[in-house]
Chains A and B, each alone.
Chain A
Amino acid sequence: MVRVELPAHLRALAHVKGEVTVEVSGTVSILSVLDALEAKYPMLEGTIRDHGTRQRRPFLRFFACAEDWSHDPPEKPLPEEVASGKEPLLVVGAIAGG
């Protein structure tokens, strides 16, 4: 079970509070976690990565174990701590607009 922490606006869209969890089969990567997340919460499709290009939206970043994974290949395996559920994958909205 992989834990994912979403920005508040995406939690509202998904009608959830706090962290969400998803089942990922095979390699746990940004790609497989987002696939599982969108399958469980279809209302999030297009909000984290673009529908057409599947690229991360510019104002969103991915963090795992205090490391920025935003620019790593999405297929790259995430740390064991995330794959095992010990640590969450963080989807973080840029602090902008202030």
Chain B
Amino acid sequence: MSVVRVLVGTRKGAFVLTSDGKREKWDISGPHFAGWEMYHLKGSPADPNRIYASQTSGWFGQIIQRSDDGGKTWIQPGTPPSETKAPDGSPKGESNKFVYDTSQETGAPLTTHQFYDGTQHPWEFKRVWHLEPSLTDPDTVYAGVEDAALFRSTNGGKTWEELSGLRGHGTGPQWQPGAGGMCLHTILLDPKNAGRIVIAISAAGAFRSDDAGKTWKPINKGLKSQYIPDPEAEVGHCVHHIAQSALRPELLYMQKHWDVMRSDNAGESWTEVSGNLPTDFGFVIDVHAHEPETIYVVPIKSDGEHYPLDGKLRVYRSKSGGNEWEELTKGLPQSNCFVNVLRDAMAVDSLDKCGVYFGTTGGQVYCSPDAGDTWAPIVRDLPAVYSVEVQTLS
């Protein structure tokens, strides 16, 4: 019997929602890390019991948590007695140490980025937005952080090193923070090309490495952003999220600040596919687990009004890879709904009948067990939902 486990990060803790394959009745556990901002939780594809979580606080900084039993218990990597005595001699208590590379060899040019007022500003670590476990090694995990940079741990989260080639490729001084901060929020690992990583930053754009993170290049050709001085600049675009088809990893979909885009060549070029969407502003985007041309977005009214158009919460689905969209409303509130759906708060499961999930800033987590045709809330009253990830377990 299949089991679905939904990992929910919220403004005041984490929740684990579990159901069988019918996805009708749910067990809720949590809040884990009550009172802390939980930006993101994600399970390892190589070991589903291994889950990484980003716990953060304006008072106490960044914490990394790890579960080795599917979310029942948690540790800060490197701190339990069993791990501090590990033969690899990893430093204890450094799982939350994210220090930018300032070495002469690789970090010397990494000095400043553009601030809100246009002046240059030094990089300052604030928090981990996104954790992406390796597809093959449970001990390897990537972290996308604010101020934007990519870190990697190869020892289960005990220690972290920056992949500084990203900040060092030359356009860093042109990157600038979006309204939520200068965050690296998307990390996509290619299941068919071990060296390929795609990341996205608000507001710098999308970047790709084909050598496992050593060197990077911007992949923003075709993006047009009317709100920046050069709408077709190489960098500076406010990319909100990118989703990848697991079956066709070169096929990428992007929800930009405004515009929904697709790329059929791993980001070499992008084409707008907003089509008949009522508004093409939004944050989330995701792809059906089995149909690479079936995609989902939640249109949001505008960059100044972060809630659904007309107070109606609608998911839009395209079965043609964009341009032609249908609204999905069955089970979703169609009046007086003014929540937002944040960039990491949509996910899909991989059951035969693909399940689609999303969480709102109003604390609802919705599930559609039939690829979007109908929706029902799993929970209604959580703290504001920051992130939703799904594990399909058998």
Contact = CB atoms under 8 A, between A and B. Distances in A.
Contacts of B35: 8-9
B79 A93 contact: no
A52 interface: yes
Contact of A51 (B78, B79, B97): B97
B157 to A, nearest CB: 13
Contacts of A51: 94, 96-97, 99
A43 B79 contact: yes
Nearest to A44: B93
30 contacts: A8-B35, A9-B35, A9-B60, A12-B33, A13-B60, A13-B63, A38-B93, A42-B78, A42-B79, A43-B76, A43-B79, A43-B93, A45-B92, A45-B93, A45-B96, A46-B61, A46-B62, A46-B93, A46-B94, A46-B97, A47-B63, A48-B60, A51-B94, A51-B96, A51-B97, A52-B97, A52-B99, A59-B59, A93-B59, A94-B59
Contacts of A48: 60
* Interface SS of B by simple majority: loop
Contacts of B99: 51-52
Interface in B54-71: 57-63
Interface string A8-22: 111011000000000
A50 interface: yes
B84 interface: yes
A59 B58 CA distance: 7
B76 A13 contact: yes
B36 interface: yes
A42 B78 CA distance: 8
Interface of A: 7-10, 12-13, 38, 42-48, 50-52, 57, 59-60, 93-94, 96-97
Contact of A10 (B60, B76, B93, B94): B60
B61 A42 contact: no
Interface band, chain B: 20 to 34
Contacts of A13: 60, 63, 76
A9 to B, nearest CB: 6
Interface string B83-113: 0100000001110110100000000000000
Interface of B: 33-36, 57-63, 76, 78-79, 84, 92-94, 96-97, 99
B41 to A, nearest CB: 17
B84 A9 contact: no
B61 A47 contact: yes
B94 A57 contact: no
Contacts of A44: 93
A93 B57 CA distance: 11
What 9 pairs between A and B have smallest CB-CB spacing? A42-B93, A45-B93, A42-B92, A47-B60, A43-B79, A59-B59, A51-B97, A43-B76, A42-B79
A37 to B, nearest CB: 11
Nearest to B33: A12
A65 B78 CA distance: 35
A26 B96 CA distance: 29
A38 B92 CA distance: 10
A97 B297 CA distance: 32
B59 A45 contact: no
A7 B99 CA distance: 25
B131 to A, nearest CB: 17
Given A42-B78, A42-B84, A46-B62, 18 more contacts: A7-B59, A7-B60, A8-B35, A9-B59, A12-B34, A42-B79, A42-B92, A42-B93, A43-B93, A45-B97, A46-B61, A46-B93, A47-B96, A51-B99, A52-B97, A57-B60, A59-B58, A60-B60
Contacts of B59: 7, 9, 57, 59-60, 93-94
Nearest to B97: A51
A12 B94 CA distance: 18
Contacts of A96: 58
B94 A45 contact: yes
A47 B59 CA distance: 8
Contacts of B94: 45-46, 51
Nearest to B81: A42
Contacts of A46: 61-62, 93-94, 96-97
Contacts of A8: 35
A47 B96 CA distance: 9
